[in-house]
Structure 1
Amino acid sequence: MTDSTHTVPLDLGGALDVAVTAAHAGAAILQAYASHRADLVIDHKARNDLVSQADRESEAAVIEILRERTPAFGIVAEETGGRPEGQATWYIDPLDGTTNFLHGIPHYAVSIALVAHAGTVISGTETLTEDTPVVAVVYDPSREELFNSVYGVGAWLNGHRIACSRTPTLAESVVATGFPFRDFSFSDQYMPMLHDAINTTRGVRRAGAASLDLAWTACGRYDAYWEMALASWDVAAGTLLVREAGGVARDMYGRDPWPIGGYVIAGNRDTTAELQAMIDPHLKRPA
């Protein structure tokens, strides 16, 4: 990027404030609907892929704040789309865990991340060489847990610094995952991975909200996590949370600078390496 506007360092602290405000606005709409779920209008985008007016209204509230306060940034959102542009782009999931929400399961979140593009100046001493998540907010309104992180600074849960677990092996680990539910084309790869995980770990959990799986990995509740065929907005914020909590969150194919394609593996350095070795024999790498 050669445009002079891209030589001005991003205000990461300001961006975090905006993201927190937007996440609370989106969550307020979700919680207003939470006790009236039977009244929600629900559409089917595809098999097991639901969207409700709660998703749409939460996203609208989030986008309104982001556009008003950071008009130069791009926006990529689950329900309304968009494209990367400018110095950085917001990636928004206004309701991660829609199926949980619609069934009254209190495990869902608003997820917002700012991904800075290659060539963007982060500070007086660093210019990014690849696209990188730099601000993250994952807000779980049912538990009133706000996870947030800033590139190079750290990760927090309700103001307290968090860190990934120090569990050294998968045999001692509780790992999280996500089952195929919408795209079943990779089931032949995934099911052997799940079989191995069940037989080599302390336990496997599937809670149904990828952003919270990553946030819980960042704070040490889970020791590792993997999932396939997600969307970019599912993993953008959680990727930074894990990285800033001292862990690893990456594309399981090793191609992209962050898991923008939705094939994510995360944990501390030991568990991630062992988990990667476990899934590799079953992973069909694209041409």
Structure 2
Amino acid sequence: SNFLHGLPHFAISIAVEEPRTGQARGEVTQGLIYQPLTDESFWAEKGRGAWLQDRRLRVSARRDLSEALVATGIPFLGHGDIREWTSIFASVAPEVAGIRRFGSAALDLAWVAAGRYDAFWEADLQIWDVAAGILLVREAGGFVSDFRGGDRMHERNEYLATNDGLATKLHKLVAQGVKGL
């Protein structure tokens, strides 16, 4: 919707999924997130790293939550649970340096991979919004999970991306928010 409203924060996100025998969902082996207005190409290939143009990407090394810049998305028009999001926000916000909401999950994940953001969380996304970004974050040395720290992101439709140093702390805060309902 950013593009449709003339906002300059949007991207094209493409992922290549290789089939796995006997499984409904394959494995994403390549991903590209292109931001046309800045001409930035974030790309990754499984086992070969994540890149911005020709520069290798690494997630931030930040370990202190009070210095962390975190991105999120906000549920709208009946999509998602605004009560859950508000409760998680209330748990996370007092502990971090700042929270941003620009409205492009693909770019938010690319920016976590590039170390621009220290973390990202959001629920109720479409697979095409996150597939390339998940690969980017992982290939940049980051951690992507569901809100509980598990690998059932797609089944639960909840995504938390960060570095290893912040993952446990953020999972606890998000869990507190979910329990706070």
Aligned-residue offset at 1:116 = 2.6
Report the structure number with the largest CA radius of gyration.
Answer: 1
Given that 1:176 and 1:213 are in contact with CA atoms closer than 8 Å, whether structure 2 keeps it comes out as yes
Shift of 1:200: 0.7
Do residues 267 (structure 1) and 162 (structure 2) align? yes
Report what 2:42 is aligned to. 147
Matches within 5 A, 1:126-275: 131-253=26-148, 254-256=150-152, 259=154, 262-275=157-170
In the alignment, the residues of structure 2 paired with residue 167 and residue 153 of structure 1 have an alpha-carbon distance, to the nearest angstrom, of: 23
- Could you report, residue by residue, the CA deviation over 1:16-53 in whole angstroms, capped at 9, with x for unpaired residues? xxxxxxxxxxxxxxxxxxxxxxxxxxxxxxxxxxxxxx
2-structure distance, mates of 1:264, 1:143: 26
User: Partner residue of 2:6?
Assistant: 104
> How far apart in 2 are the matches of 1:273 and 1:205?
21
* Structure 2 CA distance for aligned equivalents of residues 109 and 260 of structure 1: 25
Quote the Cα distance in structure 2 between the aligned partners of 1:259 and 1:268: 20
Judge conservation of contact 1:236–1:259 (CA < 8 Å) in 2. Answer: no
How many residue pairs get aligned? The number is 177
Unpaired runs of at least 5, structure 1: 1-98, 121-127
Whole-angstrom distance in 2 between the partners of 1:185 and 1:106 = 25
Structure-2-length-normalised TM-score: 0.89
Report the counterpart of residue 18 of structure 2 in structure 1: 116
**Cα distance in 1, alignment partners of residues 43 and 156 from structure 2:** 22
Q: CA deviation at 1:267?
A: 0.7
Letter of the 2:61 counterpart: R
User: Secondary structure at 2:3's aligned position in 1?
Assistant: helix
Identical-residue share of aligned pairs (%): 39
d(CA) in 2 for partners of 1:185, 1:212: 20
Render the CA deviation track for 1:217-250: whole Å, top value 9, x for unaligned.
0000000010011111111000000000000112
Distance 1:138 1:250 in 2: 20
- CA distances 1:155-177 after superposition (whole Å, capped 9, x unpaired): 00011111000000221100000
Cα deviation code 1:155-204 (max 9, x no counterpart): 00011111000000221100000011133551221101111222110000
Aligned-residue Cα RMSD (Å) equals 2.0
